[in-house]
Amino acid sequence: MIVALATLAATGCSNGETESSADAVEVDAVGADVVGSDSSVDLPGEVTVVGERAAEQLDGSTLLSESLALYGDGYRFNAVAEVHGSEAAVISGVVVGQDAQMVITSGDATVSYLITADGSWFQTEGGEWQEVDSVGPIERPLEDLASPTSVTILSADDDRIAAVAFYAGAKFGSEGAIEMSLRFVDGRLVSASYETETASISTSFSHLDGASIETPSAST
């Protein structure tokens, strides 16, 4: 899960470049400490409560699988990418079923994307929605988390669990293995993060809370 920051910046500053700019964007966001407006996360629904069981009594792979299943209908997310310690991009959005809507801000540029089974659109700040054949390989941020090579529970304190998961670097456009820091509350994944030599990506997750996605009208 990576953010291709160079193409993000180019897209946001398009000034009239429409479909070609949208096609340049590559986004696959994941990452750690809960950030954004959902920093205080309310987590209703059916979840697995850990209680005071020791970390070694928990199975990390099962915990992750069950946690991701809780987001089967969709989720909100907020991701922050930093390069050399400076904020490079912020990606926030919502996934509802197979549809996704997100806003990417890089520097002074902001671009919105809408991807559904019926079509794809993008919108620059202050502009109209424009339909395109593709908005590039934008992936939903939980998709690649489902297949770790291993998951280890680090600590379990009542309803809060910390874990580390390893993934093949190819999934995230990186060489070697990726070490992902995971945080769970009441059995639900609330944040994931990882670092490379030059960048760090952190993403928070929360429930839909009634969010929906509307397709732009045909006239736009």
CA distance linking residue 137 with residue 79, whole number of Å: 17
Distance in Å from the first CA to the final CA of the chain: 31
Question: How far is Cα of residue 37 from the mean position of the Cα atoms in its chain?
Answer: 15
Residue 83: count of CB within 10 angstroms of its CB: 14
Q: What single-letter amino acid sits at 168?
A: A
Q: Domain boundaries in the chain?
A: 5-40+47-206
- Return the pLDDT at 102: 93
CA–CA distance, 175 with 110 (Å, rounded to integer): 30
Task: Look at strands 138-139 and 27-28 and give their pairing.
Answer: parallel
Q: What is the pLDDT of residues 62-114, one digit of tens each?
A: 999 999 999 999 999 999 999 988 888 999 999 998 899 999 999 999 999 99
CATH code for the structural domain at 5-40+47-206: 2.50.20
Q: Which residues, given as ranges, of the chain have pLDDT below 50?
A: 1-29, 31-52, 219-220
What 3-state DSSP class applies to 152?
strand
- What pLDDT sits at residue 167? 94
pLDDT, residue 210, reads 87
pTM: 0.74
Question: How many C-beta atoms lie closer than 10 Å to residue 147's C-beta?
Answer: 11
Backbone region of residue 187 per phi and psi (left: phi > 0; alpha: psi in -120 to 50; beta: other values): left
